[in-house]
Amino acid sequence: MLFVTVVMIWRLLHLEKLTEHKKKSQLLTLSLESLIAPKSQQNHLVVELKKIVKNYRVVFPTPAALVTSADEQGKPNIATAGEVYMLSLHPLIVAVGFRPATYTNELIHATWEFVVNLPKREILEQVDFCGCVSGKSVDKFTETGLTPLPAKYVKPPLVKECPVNIECKVLDVIHYPYMDRDVFAGETLAVHLDEEIIGEDGFADLTKFNAIAFASNSYFQLTGVLERSHFSIRKKMNDRLI
């Protein structure tokens, strides 16, 4: 009986080794095949892992911002923009992008000033509307009921209903023949925050208002904080102290 048990254990171990050896051989064969396969077949292997889709706003999410501008007489306009981004922190340079055919492009070129207003969910319908019609034919403040407030340093107004307002003076207009829009690089002259959204660190606390993000032709709401920046380093330092 003992002899039979030993034989059975030996067979199981031997079978396990054979199976493991077979798996390694298959992996080696697959690796060699991928190395010596024609380039077209190698590309096919990549395509199986990733799907190539048509071009669209591929860097997302971005703010769904309301950008205010004004003509030389001071008449204001509002435009919805997804192309709002930081170019520099010191000095603080904020950029917006608009196609040459747009009214906002025309106005910013005329005055070299704009204000970036970051809206909240409660005015989402107005945000969408301002991106659907041209200010050449529609007074968007009148149509939406949004409230213009005087800015401190620039002619375009702030939007009262937006908790964050950033006054900017254009330093440069970036345009190359391969670009479909002008990028206006604006020096930040003033940042206005509604008092109720200011966090303990003095910055805007996005958990205190329903900030809107734009991606894949849709609006999204930011729902909460995952972690504070540099949390991974702080965790490692704390672990070393334990």
148 and 39 belong to one structural domain: no
Q: What does the pLDDT read at residue 172? A: 97
Is 231 within a domain? no
Q: What does the pLDDT read at residue 43? A: 56
Cα-based distances in Å from 241 to 19, 216, 232, 234, 238: 47, 45, 15, 11, 5
Phi, psi of 93 (to 5 degrees): -115, 120
128 and 42 belong to one structural domain: no
Is 240 within a domain? no
Domain count, the chain: 2
Is 75 within a domain? yes
42 and 79 belong to one structural domain: no
Is 21 within a domain? yes
Please indicate whether residue 176 or residue 236 has the higher confidence score (pLDDT). 176
34 and 76 belong to one structural domain: no
27 and 73 belong to one structural domain: no
pLDDT digits (tens, 9 = 90+) for 73-127: 999 999 999 889 999 999 999 999 999 999 999 999 999 999 999 999 999 999 9
CATH number at residue 98: 2.30.110.10
Q: What does the pLDDT read at residue 230? A: 87
Q: Which two tokens stand for residue 5?
A: 């048990």
Among the listed residues 235, 221, 189, 45, the one whose alpha carbon sits nearest the alpha carbon of residue 124: 221
93 and 156 belong to one structural domain: yes
Residue 198 per-residue DSSP state: B
| Domain region containing 35 | 2-49
Question: Does the pLDDT of residue 149 top 90, yes or no?
Answer: yes
18 and 74 belong to one structural domain: no
Question: Does the pLDDT of residue 178 top 60, yes or no?
Answer: yes
Among the listed residues 191, 172, 190, the one whose alpha carbon sits nearest the alpha carbon of residue 182: 172
pTM over 0.85: no
Q: What does the pLDDT read at residue 4? A: 41
Is 56 within a domain? no
72 and 130 belong to one structural domain: yes
Is 55 within a domain? no
pLDDT digits (tens, 9 = 90+) for 1-18: 544 444 444 454 454 554
Is 242 within a domain? no
pLDDT digits (tens, 9 = 90+) for 187-235: 999 999 999 999 888 889 888 888 999 988 899 988 888 888 888 888 7
Question: Does the pLDDT of residue 185 top 70, yes or no?
Answer: yes
Is 236 within a domain? no
9 and 108 belong to one structural domain: no
124 and 167 belong to one structural domain: yes
87 and 207 belong to one structural domain: yes
pLDDT digits (tens, 9 = 90+) for 13-50: 454 554 555 545 554 444 445 555 555 555 555 557 88
107 and 21 belong to one structural domain: no
Cα-based distances in Å from 190 to 13, 94, 207: 74, 12, 22
CA distance 59 to 86: 14
